[in-house]
Chains A and B, each alone.
Chain A
């Protein structure tokens, strides 16, 4: 079947605008993760869902970042009042959720804040 799908592929926002990034995980994957990858760096964990429950949001950098997964499938990462330091690639990953299950990553959304 299809892999993890993220949209849009690219997003340019003016500073202060709100953005919404979408993730469509692999069907049947209960776990969903968001990561942020700055240029030249490895991905950094943002938040984790098990089904519709957000169990870990320790990586969200500020209260401008908000994620939801209301029906336990599609997830949206919202960034309010974007700042230039928010420019990065935002990666979504899903997994079956059992111990050792590999994360399946999407191709990411590249956000550029001007």
Chain B
């Protein structure tokens, strides 16, 4: 079984400041890793994913996450946030063994509040 822990429920930050949203996972098998974002009054959207290869993955809007196998982490970072980044962010894993790779285990979510 897998589990995901997002260490911060809320992260307030000023505009143009850097931010890191932390995610740790536990699993007895290899996993795929995801970050989803939920903007106010919208559905969940995939932000970025790690399947294999380079451990550093990037999104089109400036976020990046690094898979650290030894620390079982997949922290999300952005060097300079915008007001429009205000949203709920969810870290998720799925195991590589199951035929149902859409069965995601989500963390509790982190609310990123960007202040002007």
Instruction: Report how many residues on chain B are interfacial, defined by Cβ distance under 8 Å.
Output: 24
Stretch at the interface among A11-19, A37-45, A64-72, A74-82: A37-45
Q: Answer yes or no: B7 CB below 8 A from chain A CBs.
A: no
The answer on a CB contact under 8 Å between A41 and B108 is: yes
A100 to B45, CA, bound (A): 14
A105 neighbours in B (Cβ, 8 Å): 36, 43-45
- Main secondary structure on chain B at its contact with chain A? loop
**Residues on A close to B: CB < 8 A?**
3-4, 31, 33, 35, 40-45, 48, 55-56, 59, 91, 93, 95, 97, 99-103, 105-108
Residues of B at under 8 Å CB distance from A? 4, 32, 36, 41-46, 49, 51, 90, 92, 99-109
A-B contact pairs, 10 of them (CB 8 A): A41-B109, A42-B92, A43-B90, A56-B100, A56-B103, A91-B43, A93-B102, A99-B51, A100-B32, A102-B49
